[in-house]
Structures are given as C-alpha cells and as structure tokens.
C-alpha cells in the first residue's frame, strides 16, 4: 500500500477517514497483524503502525514520503513512529521521507519479523501464535513517548537540518514540529498533527510538489514530432555497454551502469588516464557496495585501451573532451569498429548531435545521453534525439535511463539542448549585474534565498569556469582575434560581459584552482569565501569602463536571472524542443537544483502570474534594449493575450508549423 491516492488531494476526498479507521483497528480486541509485501508508504505504513504486529517480506520497503509531497504523515505517523523507534530515528525518516528496507525496519524496531516466505501466510501463522496474548502493550498510541534527556537538543538540530534541506520548504519544518508534539499525550499530539497538516494541505508548496511527482512520471510518456512515442516504440535489450573517455563524467557513467548490473567496457586512449580512472571507479563502486550492503559483481567492468572490445557491445556512451572535431572523428571510427546495430550515444552537454550522427554510417542509431555531474548521483538524464534518430534508439536510451534509476527526458537537438540552453541567459544576466554594481555573493545569496541549491557563481566555480570559456571561444565571442568593444562591450551586435573571460585569463578557473568568483582553502577546496581581489577587480573594471555602480536589490536579481531563464523556456516550447512544459520543470528540479517546492521554472512562472513575468521582462527590456534575452518571447505574449491559461494548456497555443524540427 503506497498511501493515499495523490490525485485525490486536488478534489473532494471520498471513503472513510483514515485516522478513525486506524484508531479503531488499534483499539480493537482482536489482534491485527500487518503483512507487508512490496511497499508500505505514507498512509500504508501509518495503517501498519495502527496494527498490533507487523511482519514484512525481506524485499519490502517502508517509509513516510509525505514530506516530498509538501505534507506531513498526518494519520498518526508523527505520533506513533517516535513512540516506537525513538525521536532521532523517527525524525530522520519523517524529515527525509527516505524508504528503509525490511532488514533495516527490523533493526529499527518498526517490524516484528522479516520473512523470505509469503508475508500473508507468515502473518496468519503469527496471528495464531499471539491470539491469547494481551493487546494492551501493543497499542502504540498508548505508549509513553521515549524522551531522551537531550530531546530539546535533538529537536533543535533536526529543525536546523530541516531548514537547511528545505531551502524555504515548509513541510520539513512542520515535520519536526509535529514530531515534537509526540512528547504530549497522544490526543494532544494528534491535534497538533492535524493543525499542521491543514496548514500544509492547501498550501501552494504542496500543490507544486505534487505537480513535481506527476511530472517526473509524465516525462516517461515521451513522444517525437514524427508520432513515435513510448507506447509504439520498443527498446532494445542492453546486454553490454561501453563508456569511452574516463574523465569525471565517463567514470560516473561507468559506475551507474555497473550498479545497474550491466557489464561495461571502460575505454581510454592513455595508459595513465586508464589507471587513474580504474582506481577512482573501483573505489566508488566499493563504497556503494558497502553503503547498499548488496552483493555487486565488481568484475562487471573491464578497463581497456583496445577498441576491439567494442565489437561485443550493444551500446556505446562517448564521454571524451567537449571538442566537436574530436568527437566527429571518434564517431566515424566507432562506425567501423562497432557492430552495425550498436547504438552510438554521446554525453555532450551542448554540441550538435546531428553533426555527430552525420559522421557515422548509422545516423538513425545516434542519440545524446546527457548525464549531469556527478553522474552516479544526479537523477536526471536528457535523451537528445536528432531529426534522424530512430524511435527504437530513443526508446532504448529512455529505457536505459530508467534502469540506471534516472528520470529520462526526451528532448530535440538544439544548442545546449534544454537545460544548458535555458541556463545561458541566466548566467548572462548574473554577469551584467556584476557590471552594474552587484558582487558575486549578493547575486548568489538572492538566488539561494529563493531556494536554488547553489547560486550562479558558486555553481560556476564548482563546474569549472573554463567550461563556459571554451564554449564562448568556440562561438567566436571571445579569444584571439575577436575585437574588444569600448565601454560596455558588444559582441555580435549585442551586449556582452567579458568578466568571466577576464577571470579565466587570470588563471582563476574555480574550485579546482582554489579561486574563481570566490576564494577557496586551496585547489580542490569547497568552502567559498568572498574574495577582496574579485571586489577590487570589479571596481577597477567599472572604473575603466565608466560604469556607475548602483545598489541592486534581491528582487531585481531574481527577476533578471529567473525571468530571463523562464523566457528562454518559452522559446524552447515555441521551437517544440520538448512536447510539454513539464519536461522543463523536471529538468530544472532534478538537474539544476531548482527548488522543488516551487514546481520548476515554468510552473513557478504560472504561479507568479504570466502577466507579471511579461510586464517585468518588458520593463527590463526597455532599460536594457541591447539584451535580446530580455525580449519577451512570442509564446509568453500570446498566452497572456489569451488570459494566461493553466500550464497543461500552454502547448495548445503554439502555432502549427513553428517547430524547428
């Protein structure tokens, strides 16, 4: 039982109320044994906690995931679980919403027995054995709370953790408050639980998180403009895969494949690189084996320098250096080395997948599989199809993503695909704000206060500033031979901030060099500190270019950065790079640290109000006519003119034939 039907939350509820039902079971004189197979989540686990005994199958999983839906476990979960397993363990499960295995549930004391056999049959036998035992001690609601001496301290720490995890989300904090009420007598604790639930139930955050839940499932039902889609295309089995290029991304991808039980050929061209990769990959895998306490066959991965092993694989994922010429050459080689049916995938984050496909003898079997760093942790995968990708190739990449535990989103090929395409105007605005008077920490703190996992400058330092520098050089925006403008710099006719290029020229490439937009404890350091050098550099830059710094408020930072990103999102929809705006929200929430409790950028735009987004973009465009990304998109204007329809109706308003595919 995986809990309430989440769809029911947005319409009148039917059926008996859960709390009196659970109370009645618990108060009954007949012993009730919960037999748990598969999942016991949310209301499912709360029902089991109202039973007098719990027997779980060894493969069962238990959890209270309500927090991920913007809610608290409000059918007595916040009152019974701390009584059963103590405050610290209950707080951990309820604030994180994480699932525990049956084995861990036994250790925690949530279940009485774990079985390899049919849990129902074992439960019946168990019930017979306890039929004469008194039930008084089995009713959790009557147990006195297990209050340790340092409970105040534990609750305080949990609250701090909830704030930190939540980044503005209400539910984690409400979870702590509800559990805190478990020190009171049960009926008073329940009143507090209900009060907090009523506050959350109707909240915009709960609606947004429930939208995220369904969006992450909706993107699995992908379709392509040619009519191919998830239910008319068949994925091929992947019996063996290869990863070529074992830098950070390649190593992470190889780890993902092995963890999913897929044999991997891990290939490099240089012996030293290969050995370095072998050490890192094996260490990562051994860590996972210990963490997951699972038997994993570490022999699933074979490290090699030899291309001949590629003949045996069903799919190759290329993760070499981001250089189009290098990748094209590799794809041409793969075409002759691999079996004619082998799928050729690229992990490029922004290069033209069509050009790579053209370099091969099988353009229909070429797709992008864009993983996000660290590849073994981030749940997002962009599957990039070209105009020639076959439905089978897309279906296989989507299915493989699912096996790897990712949420895969099918997107059409375009520069930067979806995520990085929308990111560009956002990063660009941040640079302009520095020119106009802000500091990196002011911009980042506004964005982090909004709920983003990391501000734009901290994120750039983490990824490495040279990544964007290389892209800008390739696009002809900077580098030798590119004319440098006067005053505010202009490239290709538009305003261009060279600040990031100048920082790179100083050898400041971010965390890896110990300095970038911030100062770190040393190369590879993680603790970002404001850097007086950067402040002086910005002041000097403004002085040389005659820019009068002004005070820039949090609202302007958010509107300029976020609305520019959202505006590009509307352009992505106009170009039909994806079939539905939910895809953009999934990509941003899972891949870019966008706060899930706002639903994602496009959902957030709807909540803020499309007329407001349009109005503010129009205002900023008047002030900065030389920034094209602030010019409102045609789709945004059209939607506002049509009375701002809800997000699921946006695509109806895109003119036929506007697709670039």
Ligand X SMILES: CCC/C=C/C(=O)SCCNC(=O)CCNC(=O)[C@H](O)C(C)(C)COP(=O)([O-])OP(=O)([O-])OC[C@H]1O[C@@H](n2cnc3c(N)ncnc32)[C@H](O)[C@@H]1OP(=O)([O-])[O-]
Residues with a catalytic annotation lie at 46, 66
Q: Give the one residue of 22, 32, 33, 41 binding ligand X; rule: CB under 6 A.
A: 41
Binding mask 392-431 for ligand X (x = CB under 6 A): ----------------------------------------
* Alpha-helical segments (H) within 202-247: 204-218
Q: How far is the CB of 70 from ligand X (least distance, A)?
A: 10
Answer yes or no whether residue 50 interacts with ligand X by CB under 6 A. no
Residues 70-89 that bind ligand X (CB under 6 A): 74-75
Q: Give the one residue of 32, 37, 43, 406 binding ligand X; rule: CB under 6 A.
A: 43
Q: Which is nearer to ligand X, 4 or 434 (CB)?
A: 4
* Alpha-helical segments (H) within 377-495: 391-403, 419-436, 440-450, 456-463, 465-474
Binding mask 209-228 for ligand X (x = CB under 6 A): -----x--x-----------
Q: How far is the CB of 178 from ligand X (least distance, A)?
A: 12
- Give the H/E segment covering residue 383: strand 380-385
- Contact segment (CB under 6 A) with ligand X among 68-76, 113-121, 258-266, 384-392 equals 68-76
Q: What gap in Å lies between CA 426 and CA 568, rounded to an integer?
A: 9
- Give the H/E segment covering residue 79: helix 77-85
Q: How far is the CB of 175 from ligand X (least distance, A)?
A: 13
Answer yes or no whether residue 7 interacts with ligand X by CB under 6 A. yes
# binding residues, ligand X (CB under 6 A): 18
Q: What gap in Å lies between CA 233 and CA 101, rounded to an integer?
A: 34
Q: How far is the CB of 98 from ligand X (least distance, A)?
A: 11
Answer yes or no whether residue 285 interacts with ligand X by CB under 6 A. no
Q: What gap in Å lies between CA 551 and CA 541, rounded to an integer?
A: 17
Residues 109-168 that bind ligand X (CB under 6 A): none
Q: Which is nearer to ligand X, 6 or 474 (CB)?
A: 6
Determine the distance from the C-alpha atom of residue 69 to the mean position of all C-alpha atoms in its chain, rounded to a whole number. 15
Answer yes or no whether residue 108 interacts with ligand X by CB under 6 A. no
Binding mask 11-40 for ligand X (x = CB under 6 A): -------x--------------------x-
Closest CA to 113 of 59, 53, 61: 53
Q: How far is the CB of 42 from ligand X (least distance, A)?
A: 3
Q: How far is the CB of 207 from ligand X (least distance, A)?
A: 14
What is the CA angle 305-308-313, rounded to 5? Answer: 100
Answer yes or no whether residue 90 interacts with ligand X by CB under 6 A. no
User: What DSSP character marks residue 69?
Assistant: G
Q: Give the one residue of 31, 42, 82, 245 binding ligand X; rule: CB under 6 A.
A: 42
Q: What gap in Å lies between CA 356 and CA 358, rounded to an integer?
A: 5
User: How many residues are listed for the chain in this entry?
Assistant: 661
Answer yes or no whether residue 66 interacts with ligand X by CB under 6 A. yes
Closest CA to 84 of 195, 179, 193: 179
Q: What gap in Å lies between CA 273 and CA 247, rounded to an integer?
A: 8
Residue 411 pairs with which residues in a beta bridge?
384
Burial class (CB in 10 A: 0-12, 13-18, 19+), 278: middle
Q: How far is the CB of 375 from ligand X (least distance, A)?
A: 21
Answer yes or no whether residue 463 interacts with ligand X by CB under 6 A. no
Tell me if residue 97 falls in helix, strand or coil: coil
Answer yes or no whether residue 4 interacts with ligand X by CB under 6 A. yes
Q: Which is nearer to ligand X, 44 or 145 (CB)?
A: 44
Closest CA to 359 of 390, 325, 310, 319: 325
Tell me if residue 40 falls in helix, strand or coil: strand
Residues at the interface with ligand X (CB under 6 A): 2-7, 18, 39, 41-43, 65-66, 69, 74-75, 214, 217
């Amino acid at each position: 039982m995986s809990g309430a039907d989440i769809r029911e939350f947005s319409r009148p509820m039917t059926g008996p109320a859960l709390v009196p039902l659970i109370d009645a079971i618990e108060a009954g004189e007949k012993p009730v044994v919960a037999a748990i197979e598969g999942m016991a989540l949310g209301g499912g686990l709360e029902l089991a906690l109202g039973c007098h005994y719990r027997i779980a199958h060894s493969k069962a999983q238990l959890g209270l995931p309500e927090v991920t839906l913007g809610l608290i476990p409000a059918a007595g979960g916040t009152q019974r679980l701390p009584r059963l397993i103590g405050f610290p363990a209950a707080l951990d499960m309820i604030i994180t919403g994480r699932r525990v295995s049956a084995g861990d549930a036994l250790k925690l004391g949530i279940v009485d027995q774990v079985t390899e056999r049919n849990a129902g049959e074992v439960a019946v036998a168990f019930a017979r054995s306890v039929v004469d035992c008194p039930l008084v001690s089995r009713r959790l609601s009557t147990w006195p709370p297990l209050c340790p001496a340092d409970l105040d301290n534990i609750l305080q720490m949990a609250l701090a953790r909830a704030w930190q995890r939540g980044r503005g989300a209400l539910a984690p904090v409400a979870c702590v408050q509800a559990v805190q009420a478990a020190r009171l007598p049960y009926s008073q604790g329940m009143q507090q639980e209900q009060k907090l639930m009523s506050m959350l139930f109707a909240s915009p955050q709960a609606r947004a998180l429930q939208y995220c839940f369904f969006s992450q499932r909706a993107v699995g039902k992908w379709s392509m403009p040619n009519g191919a889609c998830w239910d008319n295309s068949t994925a091929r089995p992947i019996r063996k895969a290869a990863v070529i290029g074992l830098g950070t991304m390649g190593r992470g991808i190889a780890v993902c494949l092995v963890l999913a039980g897929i044999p991997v050929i891990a290939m490099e061209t240089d012996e030293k690189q290969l050995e370095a990769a072998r050490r890192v990959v094996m260490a990562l895998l051994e860590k996972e084996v210990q963490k997951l306490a699972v038997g994993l066959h570490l022999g699933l991965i074979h490290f090699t320098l030899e291309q001949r092993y590629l003949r045996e694989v069903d799919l190759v994922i290329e993760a070499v250096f981001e250089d189009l010429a290098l990748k094209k050459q590799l794809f041409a080689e793969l075409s002759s080395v691999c079996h004619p049916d082998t799928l050729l995938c690229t992990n490029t984050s922004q290069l033209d997948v069509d050009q790579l496909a053209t370099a091969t003898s099988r353009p229909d079997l070429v797709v992008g599989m864009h993983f996000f760093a660290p590849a073994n942790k981030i749940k997002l995968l962009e599957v990039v199809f070209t105009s020639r990708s076959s439905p089978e190739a897309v279906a296989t990449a989507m299915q493989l993503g699912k096996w790897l535990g990712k949420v895969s989103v099918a997107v059409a090929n375009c520069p930067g695909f979806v995520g990085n395409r929308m990111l560009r105007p956002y990063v660009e605005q941040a640079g302009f704000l520095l020119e106009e008077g802000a500091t990196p920490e002011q911009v980042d703190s506004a964005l982090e206060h909004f709920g983003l996992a990391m501000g734009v400058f901290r994120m750039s330092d983490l990824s490495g500033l040279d990544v964007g520098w290389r892209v800008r050089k390739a696009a002809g925006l900077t580098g030798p031979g590119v004319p440098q403008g006067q005053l505010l710099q202009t490239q290709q006719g538009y305003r261009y901030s060279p600040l990031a290029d100048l920082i790179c020229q100083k050898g400041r490439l971010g965390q890896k060099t110990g300095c970038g937009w911030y100062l770190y404890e040393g190369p590879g350091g993680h603790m970002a500190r404001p850097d007086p050098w950067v402040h002086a550099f910005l002041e000097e830059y403004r002085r040389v270019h005659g820019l009068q710094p002004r005070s820039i408020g949090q609202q302007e930072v958010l509107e300029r950065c976020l609305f520019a990103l959202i505006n590009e999102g509307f352009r992505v929809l106009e170009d039909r790079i994806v079939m539905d705006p939910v895809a953009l929200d999934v990509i941003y929430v899972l891949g870019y640290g966008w706060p899930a409790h706002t639903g994602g950028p496009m959902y957030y735009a709807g909540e803020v109000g499309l007329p407001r987004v349009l109005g503010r973009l129009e205002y900023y465009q008047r002030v900065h006519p030389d920034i094209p990304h602030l010019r409102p998109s045609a789709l945004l204007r059209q939607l506002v003119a049509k009375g701002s329809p809800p997000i699921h109706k946006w695509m109806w308003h895109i003119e036929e034939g506007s697709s670039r595919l």
